[in-house]
Structure 1
Amino acid sequence: MTVLYAGLLDDAAIFPPGNVPVPDAVRAYRERRSSPLLGPFICSLPRWEELRATLTAGSPLPVALTVPGGAPDVPAAIRQARGEPGVELAALEVPASAGTLADLVKAVDRQVLTYVELPWVDVTAATVAALADAGLRLKIRTGGVVATAFPDERQLAGALVAAVQGGVPFKLTAGLHDPIRHRDPATGFEHHGFLNVLVATARALEGGDVTAALADQDGVRVAADVAKIDDALAGRVRHHFVSFGTCSVTEPIDGLVHHGLLPEDPR
């Protein structure tokens, strides 16, 4: 499995629009755990007890725990996760803003990998530098249930370039099931494609046109650009673009297979 896709998909099956019941989502995660594309299982702190009730004997479940309450809830979240033998705490994901980032920096445990979800308008050289100084990572929301939840290609390009130039790894979440940028015929929302983001990250590293990479809706051309990324550049791309949360693991893999970017179906 190429380094470009390894661990790229964080399993967010229990979140909208998937809304898979926790027991079913955990069962499916364990069944596909051998897939090299799969990252951690994502669970929110308010659903922690639901998750605990599903845990059985066997290897600990790698969990990225989202903390929607922000900095005040971080210490308790860490205590709960560390106290549960059936869980391996892979990461915390905590919302903040430019104005509350300093409080979050004080609350986090440097030994726990932490992604800070900032609105894309708050992803600036200054906030990225603050994340880098604190040893934190960046999380960017790229979709949702309303049009305003989707940054356009210029807005997302600005955030990606700031992260790459600031040396801060990032993950994305929401709206990235499809590999190629497209307009959803049901909602009219413009969705970013995760293959576009791979190409855009490569261009950010090499001084190319990041906005154009994110805007491209030609699947053949985008897939060809991805295929040109060699192993050395792929390692640098994935150092920055770590993963994205998806409520469907099947759809992104189907997309990679469709575009001829996987030598075989890894499921």
Structure 2
Amino acid sequence: MPVSQPAPLPPAWSGLLDDAAIFPPGDVPLHDATAAHGEHRRAWYADLLGSFVLRDTDLPLVRGLPHPLSVVVAGGAGQVAGPLGIAARLGLSVTGLEIALRDPDDLAGNARRVVAAVDHARGEGLLADDVTVFVELPQVDPSYGWEAAADEVAAAELRIKLRTGGVEAHLFPTSATLAAWIDAALDREVPFKCTAGLHHAVRHTSAEGFEQHGFLNVLLATVRAFDGASRDDTVATLEERDATRLGVSLEEVARARRWFTSFGTCSVDEPLADLLSLDLLPHDSTEPPR
């Protein structure tokens, strides 16, 4: 008797989840995280996965790992080339590079240094043209310096990384701040990814009392802002806690993905479970979610 095959996932969800299991609050040991990532890659929902996210200092520990990697540069612009050289020698597939701006007094200058380091790495053949580079902007309301740094990222055709949570309540941006970040990215026509805090599909209060954004809220806020929604309407979409009132449309999600490309999550299982519970993924798989 032939084995039934799971229905393919809608393209709107492809590559949405970057597996950041080794980062807080997950803090999964690297070996366990890479093993679990391999299991996810073999599962019926594998299309949901983007890259495996790791620190540049972890590269020597994953020699031969066949999966696409996003490398978080820990040492600033001056440390871009070294880890890429290590990855090349180890035969690793780097598809993303993520680097945070670290000079709050000169964010634009810091962004220019990152751009120069990326250009140098590309010129040396260490960074392929198709590797996506995300520049993480600070978790503050957009100021002149923040906006100027975003301009530098846009001019270099790099992408923006937004931190949407953390292990303390103050690390979760308000809806107004997040709406301003989304508008800034859209104004510059710069795609962005998010990281941290998007554990579930819809906005909620966590057991710790943290006000956590939902990844569906962010997707829909992005596409609606792109379509001309006011800042107040974007904030309202970010703050909606009822998935029914949120009005999730696969067509809107697909269009949002042009701009909100993915998010790093320390748990693949939680977003997967939410998408299934909201009937947004096919149910006829041969394997239940873990």
Per the TM superposition, whether the score is higher than 0.5 is yes
Are the aligned partners of 1:220 and 1:259 in contact in 2 as well (CA < 8 Å)?
Answer: no
**Cα distance, 1:184–1:176 mapped onto 2, change above 3 Å:** same
Are the aligned partners of 1:125 and 1:166 in contact in 2 as well (CA < 8 Å)?
Answer: no
Unaligned runs of 5+ in 2: 1-8, 123-128
Q: C-alpha offsets along residues 116-165 of structure 1, whole Å, 9 cap, x if unaligned?
A: 01114375543332212112100010111122211000000000111012
Q: Which has the larger radius of gyration?
A: 2
Which one of the candidate residues 118, 139, 146 is aligned to 2:137? 118
* Aligned match of 1:63: 69
Q: What code does the residue aligned with 1:45 have?
A: D
* Aligned match of 1:143: 165
1:14, distance to aligned residue in structure 2 (A)? 1.1
In the superposition, the TM-score normalised over structure 1's length comes to 0.89
In the superposition, the TM-score normalised over structure 2's length comes to 0.83
Q: What code does the residue aligned with 1:259 have?
A: L
Which one of the candidate residues 210, 217, 220 is aligned to 2:241? 217
Unaligned runs of 5+ in 1: none
> How many pairs align?
255
Q: What code does the residue aligned with 1:135 have?
A: E
* Aligned match of 2:23: 15
Which stretch of the first structure deviates more once superposed, 111-120 or 172-181? 111-120
* Aligned match of 1:190: 211
Percent identical residues: 44
**Cα distance, 1:122–1:75 mapped onto 2, change above 3 Å:** farther
* Aligned match of 1:249: 268
Are the aligned partners of 2:141 and 2:177 in contact in 1 as well (CA < 8 Å)?
Answer: no
Q: What code does the residue aligned with 2:116 have?
A: K
CA distance, structure 1, for counterparts of residue 191 and residue 181 of structure 2: 12
CA distance, structure 2, for counterparts of residue 248 and residue 134 of structure 1: 32
* Aligned match of 2:60: 49
Q: What code does the residue aligned with 1:107 have?
A: A
* Aligned match of 2:182: 160
Q: What code does the residue aligned with 2:237 have?
A: A
Q: What code does the residue aligned with 2:162 have?
A: I
CA distance, structure 2, for counterparts of residue 22 and residue 120 of structure 1: 27
Q: C-alpha offsets along residues 175-208 of structure 1, whole Å, 9 cap, x if unaligned?
A: 11111111112x2111110010111011111112
Q: CA RMSD in A?
A: 1.8
CA distance, structure 2, for counterparts of residue 46 and residue 122 of structure 1: 31
* Aligned match of 2:35: 27
Does 1:207 pair with 2:217? no
